[in-house]
């Protein structure tokens, strides 16, 4: 799961670099295309928001999986304790 997060961050960083390169290119070669600049900035911000949302959902899923694992371990310990008590009674 951590590799997926790292991959997501690398993709986000590459995307930001590409968008900044496009912004620089458009600004130098087509100074009148201010709308294109705003579009590219909006695209970049949207992508960053999407990455943040995905990371948040992934973190939440990891937390839920951890809770399930702890519940399974608690149930396992409870069952082991009951079995030990039964063996002691015999």
pTM: 0.44
Domain boundaries of the chain, sorted by first residue: 2-89
Per-residue model confidence (pLDDT) at position 61: 80
pLDDT tens digits along 21-79: 877 787 788 777 767 777 777 887 888 888 778 877 777 887 888 888 888 888 888 88
Measured in residues, the chain has a length of: 90
């Amino acid at each position: 799961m951590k590799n997926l997060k790292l991959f997501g961050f690398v993709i986000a960083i590459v995307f930001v670099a590409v968008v900044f390169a496009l912004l620089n290119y458009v600004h130098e070669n087509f100074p009148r295309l201010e709308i294109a600049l705003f579009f590219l900035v909006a695209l970049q911000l949207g992508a960053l928001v999407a990455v943040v949302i995905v990371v948040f959902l992934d973190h939440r899923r990891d937390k839920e999986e951890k809770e399930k694992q702890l519940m399974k371990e608690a149930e396992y310990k409870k069952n082991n304790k009951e079995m030990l008590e039964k063996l002691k009674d015999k």
